[in-house]
Structure 1
Amino acid sequence: MYLLAATTITYVTNLVAGLRRPKYRWAEWLFLICLIILLGGNTQNADFFTYQWLYQAHIPYGEPGYRVLTRIGPMLGLDYRQFRLVLAAIFLVVLYIGIKKLTTHSAVFLAFYFCYPFFLDLIQLRNFMMMALLVYASHFLLEKTYRNLALFTFFVLLGASLQVLGVLYLLVIPLYYFDSRNLWKIGLLSIVFLASVIVMVPAFSQLLLELLGQLHLSHLSLYFVQKVRLGYLPFWLFSIFDLVFTYFSYHYLTERQLLTPRQRQIIWLMFTFTVVGVLTMPMYTYEFSFARALRDVIPFMIVAFLITLDALPRKQYLRWLYIGIFLAYVLAVVYFEMVPLLHDTIIPAFSNNWLLGS
């Protein structure tokens, strides 16, 4: 269990160093290396053997971008384990660089990210790659130029070529640039909440299921089967919390003029991503995999939290209340998402790693 010990030590060191001033970047880098080893060297998770077989058998799978990568890997002489390690290293670095462009508290971000959703990303590598590109792309929208708009679009489409859900985040462009009165956001959210109520009615739910079943989207059609009952309700609550939390952060701090212009811009951008992230809420009733949209906005939630924490007066009671509410949210998400993975994914992640010969 050397990996568990190393991860624990670097996690604590990274968190303590991140809370100090000046910050010690070496602690972040050590913890980032541990994350790369965990993510890239893992050989026991729900998807590993399936993807390994597909890779070694040269069977095309997934979206076009991922198919291209699975062709390049063998050309470079990489087996699946090496291929996965390279992807994990590249996209964890991309995520890290993207976060540093949004907040100075990258060490604290990594600490939260490790709690959730890191171990889900360990399983669903393609979704992680898409999310990392999405986080990196977000900073381009902070400056409204055609070049930055083109770069944001490029990276989002690149992410969508790895996991098709990424294309949904192109909606961030009109919602962030052109919806100054929030009418589009209100309209979209109203439709989502109405649809969420409608799909709870069995007759409407079955009708929607039949319509979705007519779509010819290869492996995606497997998701259009009703597999859950009321288990989606906590995830609905999490999505609603994301919206309320980020909007409150923006509204409260803006009213009291506690934000710098850039901080205000970043939090509003984080809120816009959150709005797009909840658009799949009605689909939670069919397949929990659609809740990965909730997971994809978690990095933006953490960034909004860190910026708000910076802006709130240190001795104000609201600051501690804010911290308590966010930590309670993280604990709830960890309970519903991480605890079920404890024996099948999390514990094996520290004992089944080819880089350490185990």
Structure 2
Amino acid sequence: MKRTRRRKFPPCGRVGKWASKHSRSGKHMKTKTGKKYWLFHALSILLILMLVALMCLNRGNPDFQNYSNFYWDKDDFLKRQHEMGFFWLTRLGRLLNLTYEQFYTAITGLGLFSLIAWFYRYSKYPALALAFYMVFPFLLDIVQLRNFLVMGIALWAFSLLMEAKEEPTYRYLSLSLLLLAGTIHNTAFIYIPFWLVLQWPSIWVILSSGLAFTVSLLIPRFLTEASLAQSSSHVLQRYAYLFRGQVSLPGRIFFISLSLALCLAVYFIQYSLDQDRLLEAGVKPKAFQSLSQLAKKLSYLSFGLMPLFFQSVDFFRIFRNFLPLYWLLFSIYFLVPLKAQHKRLEKLVLSLFLLGILCVTCYVLLIFSNTDNVIRTVFKENILLRLIELRGQ
């Protein structure tokens, strides 16, 4: 008969104490974490319902009638012949016998689905990111329909571009998405140079930003409102209003401060988080690194476009479309627990800094200049809120 080897165990007392201690703490930690993230799931669902209700059921905003005229061919066709992507979307809506109100609900619903799917791709718990987006620029996106669609496409395009090292086909997919975005709104074609530059190392991105700054500085000297208005190009005629005036000194200080603050925020977020704890917050470390790199490079490029921001606030849409990326990184920072005790004060200070960026941006670009024509109008001209108001009377 074969002799069976007896396994040696530590003294029962030690094993019992160790097992009892760690099983209790592990169970407690699991329960605590589960409850915490269950609340984030519930909050995410609530926020998604609010986003859908406010945007898809909107029936009046500063641009609503203009888009309705576009939909029913009551405007000049020359104004839209260079944006055939959006034109054919409206033709599809009319082919399906939709009214403009129904078309608006359908197209904004698809846009929100794309944006929410993007948030969930990079975080299992996007509640905070959705909340930050609702603060700004969500209300402006309700008004600026085509820009909203471009924003969702651009976020997907550049995020996939950052993952092209692992999946080479993403590079061509991202370029195709940007070309599609350009057919919805011509300003999206400016993202094509971005697509090229963002594939370079950071030092080359910074140098490219310096070159872009020089070019942006010269553009207003050669392009004026009068010259654009007299141009034979209908595309250039449409953008003549952008060169009508200039942003005030406080506005210029704000744009510079915002770009600098976002650049610093991404730097501190990237180097203060414990990479091994990202998974606990539902974030893949590789995805976090690619998003951080993208955000840093976009911050560098924003400095290159600063002269255009000084020319007109509308030029800031080029960079504003990437704010959900920064809000997502902010939310990840809030979610990921820190190991070291001494980092709690650091996290408190940085958290206040991040919230300050959000609040100041919302105040300057939304509340200060758009309270009556955007905020009040959007909440007033909503089917659901109107129904609730009538029921309450």
Could you state the TM-score of these two structures normalised by the residue count of structure 1?
0.81
Secondary structure of 1:266 counterpart: helix
Superposition pairs for residues 205-284 of structure 1, below 5 Å? 205-209=220-224, 213=228, 216=233, 217-230=235-248, 232-233=251-252, 234-250=254-270, 252-253=271-272, 260-284=285-309
8 Å CA contact 2:225–2:241 kept in 1: the answer is no
**Which residue in the other structure is 2:363 paired with?**
335
**Which residue in the other structure is 2:185 paired with?**
163
CA distance in 2, matches of 1:278, 1:156: 22
Secondary structure of 2:244 counterpart: coil
Distance 1:258 1:171, change over 3 A: farther
Q: What is the percentage of aligned positions where both structures have the same residue? A: 22
Distance 1:312 1:271, change over 3 A: farther
CA distance in 2, matches of 1:305, 1:205: 35
8 Å CA contact 2:225–2:240 kept in 1: the answer is no
**Which residue in the other structure is 1:14 paired with?**
none
Secondary structure of 1:77 counterpart: coil
Q: Deviations over 1:88-125 (max 9, x none)?
A: 10010100001111223311111000000001101101
Tell me if 1:175 matches 2:184.
no
- Give the letter for the 1:230 counterpart: S
8 Å CA contact 1:273–1:300 kept in 2: the answer is no
Q: Deviations over 1:209-252 (max 9, x none)?
A: 379735832453324423234153122322232233324433x3
CA distance in 2, matches of 1:83, 1:278: 38
Distance 1:44 1:208, change over 3 A: same
Tell me if 1:35 matches 2:47.
no
8 Å CA contact 1:192–1:281 kept in 2: the answer is no
Superposition pairs for residues 1-358 of structure 1, below 5 Å? 20-23=36-39, 25-57=41-73, 59=75, 60=77, 61-62=79-80, 63-141=83-161, 142-144=163-165, 145-177=167-199, 179-180=200-201, 182-194=202-214, 205-209=220-224, 213=228, 216=233, 217-230=235-248, 232-233=251-252, 234-250=254-270, 252-253=271-272, 260-310=285-335, 313=338, 315=341, 316=343, 317-339=345-367, 340-354=369-383
Q: Deviations over 1:314-343 (max 9, x none)?
A: 641211111111111111111111212222
CA distance in 2, matches of 1:68, 1:264: 37
- Give the letter for the 2:110 counterpart: I
CA distance in 2, matches of 1:254, 1:189: 28
Distance 1:356 1:76, change over 3 A: farther
Deviates most, 273-282 or 127-136? 273-282
**Which residue in the other structure is 2:18 paired with?**
none
8 Å CA contact 1:172–1:272 kept in 2: the answer is no
Structure showing greater Rg? 2
CA distance in 1, matches of 2:127, 2:276: 27
8 Å CA contact 1:65–1:162 kept in 2: the answer is yes
8 Å CA contact 1:140–1:149 kept in 2: the answer is yes
CA distance in 2, matches of 1:224, 1:349: 25
8 Å CA contact 1:56–1:79 kept in 2: the answer is no
Deviates most, 121-130 or 134-143? 134-143
CA distance in 2, matches of 1:38, 1:18: 30
Ranges of 4+ aligned residues in structure 1 off by more than 6 Å? 254-259
For structure 2, list consecutive stretches of 5 or more residues without a partner in the other structure: 1-32, 279-284, 388-393
For structure 1, list consecutive stretches of 5 or more residues without a partner in the other structure: 1-16
CA distance in 2, matches of 1:18, 1:345: 39
CA distance in 2, matches of 1:253, 1:334: 26
Displacement of 1:53 in angstroms is: 2.0
CA distance in 1, matches of 2:336, 2:365: 30
Secondary structure of 2:305 counterpart: helix
CA distance in 2, matches of 1:290, 1:28: 31
Distance 1:75 1:223, change over 3 A: same
For this pair of structures, how many residues does the alignment match? 334
8 Å CA contact 1:274–1:300 kept in 2: the answer is no
Distance 1:166 1:278, change over 3 A: farther
8 Å CA contact 2:56–2:109 kept in 1: the answer is yes
8 Å CA contact 1:40–1:81 kept in 2: the answer is no
Displacement of 1:69 in angstroms is: 0.9
Displacement of 1:27 in angstroms is: 3.9
Displacement of 1:195 in angstroms is: 5.9
